Amino acid sequence: MTLKPDPHCRGAVITLLFHSTSHNLRPMPICRRPRRSLRRLLLAVGLAGALQAAPVGEFEQSTDIGKITVAGSAEFLPATRQYRLTGSGLNMWAKEDAFHFLHKKLSGDLSFTMDVAWPEPSKEPHRKACALVRATLDADSPYVDVAVHGDGLIELQYRKVKGGETYGIRTPILAPATVKLERDADVFTVSVAKKGGPFQPVGALSLALPDPVYVGLGVSAHNSKNRETALLSHVVLTNRVALPTEKRVRETTLETLVVATGERRLVYRDRSLFEAPNWSRDGKHLLINRAGGIWTLPVTGGEPQRLDTGIAQKCNNDHGLSFDGRWLAISSNEGKDGSKIYVVPSTGGTARLVTPTGPSYWHGWSPDGATLAYCARRNGNFDIYTVPAAGGPETRLTTADGLDDGCEYTADGTKLYFNSERTGVMQLWRMNPDGSQQEQVTTDPNFGDWFPHPSPDGKWLAFLSFDKSVKGHPANQNVTLRLMPLAGGKPKVIATLFGGQGTINVPSWSPDSTQIAFVSYRHVLP
């Protein structure tokens, strides 16, 4: 087929000339008006892409991706600055996608926001409109998107490798809402805002996609025989210059998560490193460590205020409040032999040294406030120890080779939970407070599980999981927060983020056991 002008037809702009080795077909003139007739004819002969060679709004081209039998289309409405996108396709999921894609090529960081409406009724609740970033136009390309489904479900979707499975991170916030997809180096973040409200995080992950990438809008009908139309409003795509990670600034985000619903709320974000939130016993404040100090800030948001910790001025991310809320245990690198544990009043004041030997890293208070549990290196091995909070000789509870860490008491004081690599992969364990009856709690070899936190009501165990390939608990990793019944059961993911070291090292349950606080990271332009 070729396209050429036809001067003999009033208003005509093109003539379709079909060439075939077996047929000779006469030219067919097509007039400019009506335009819908032209589109319908092109769709009928499977040539809808010919209409989309020119730019559509701020995008360069649109095309069908994957196995498509009913062609899609894209249109920009200048009067309202909206995009009308129509697509078919079985789905955007599993190992390959089928959808209509309006896109352009970009390199570097970006921010992409939009609102989604469905102007036509449908019986397909899983039709979806997406703002997405893809490595290629192949059906099985790696990608990240924020998808708004026909039934209002909003989800971060991603495929890490070509031909790999697709994964999703859902938010309890339903459309109508404004969705945002951001790329900062290799970190992709999705946020959602209800009308008039602030953006709240959905999730984040690190995925290396080589520049340039394909960035744009997509619609999939979730039915290969039908087409679905989405009306996309307030589409804003901002592109920023790329910089290598070493020239970027670390940005830290403090969030709270409602365990029952999965809803996340951004409390504080700053271009500095802060870590390990604790929840105050009255539920009104959070404590974090930053720049060697301990800082407090309201759960509702605001600026952190530094707490007086006396001589302990090199505090790390191992700190927490006693069950009665009167005392704060902190770990601080004041001496030559590393971190040591101090106790200060929770309102600030004189720091009292509890463990004269280092390195020692605090992790738990006994419910009666009489004992501290901690991880310490002695004779070249890290084990779990306890010591009277008033000071005195320490007691070694674990003796296995390798690292034992992250020890924390249950609210009734009957068990100490901890993480251990004694089986070759970091897993969760528990024992009696005297170190007896040590037993394994998690067993999935695909995860390295760290920092078990029993909920104050004694029902749940929250913890941080790394991929099995990660050694230790470094920062800047794809991690998940997982939750399981304290009495035993299958863990479930409650949050996916880019974090690791400092995310949830210490107790971070709200006192009513309904929420968890944690931090995540990304590297942004200065």
Question: Cα–Cα distance between 272 and 269 in angstroms, integer?
Answer: 9
Name the pairing type of β-strands 315-321 and 305-306.
unpaired
Where do runs of H (alpha helix) occur along 378-522?
A: none
Percent of the chain with pLDDT over 70: 90
Question: Cα–Cα distance between 200 and 255 in angstroms, integer?
Answer: 9
The reported pLDDT for the residue numbered 245 is: 84
Give strand ranges (E) for 46-140.
61-65, 73-77, 82-87, 92-93, 96-97, 99-106, 109-117, 128-134
Residues forming CATH 2.120.10.30 domain(s) in the chain: 245-524
The reported pLDDT for the residue numbered 52 is: 53
CB-CB contact of 86 with 229 (8 Å): yes
The SS3 of residue 411 is: coil
CB-CB contact of 428 with 419 (8 Å): yes
This prediction has a pTM of 0.88
CB-CB contact of 321 with 280 (8 Å): yes
Q: How confident is the model at residue 336 (pLDDT cuts 50, 70, 90)?
A: confident
Is pLDDT of 30 > 60? no
Question: In this structure, what DSSP letter does residue 307 have?
Answer: P
CATH number 2.120.10.30 given to 245-524:
yes
Which of these CATH numbers, 2.60.120.200, 3.10.129.10, 2.60.120.10, 2.60.120.380, describes 50-240?
Answer: 2.60.120.200
Percent of the chain with pLDDT over 90: 87
CB-CB contact of 127 with 100 (8 Å): no
The reported pLDDT for the residue numbered 54 is: 77
Q: What is the DSSP string of 440-461?
A: E----TTEEEEEEEE-TTSSEE
Residues forming CATH 2.60.120.200 domain(s) in the chain: 50-240
CA dist list (Å): 270 to 29, 73, 111, 523: 62, 42, 18, 11
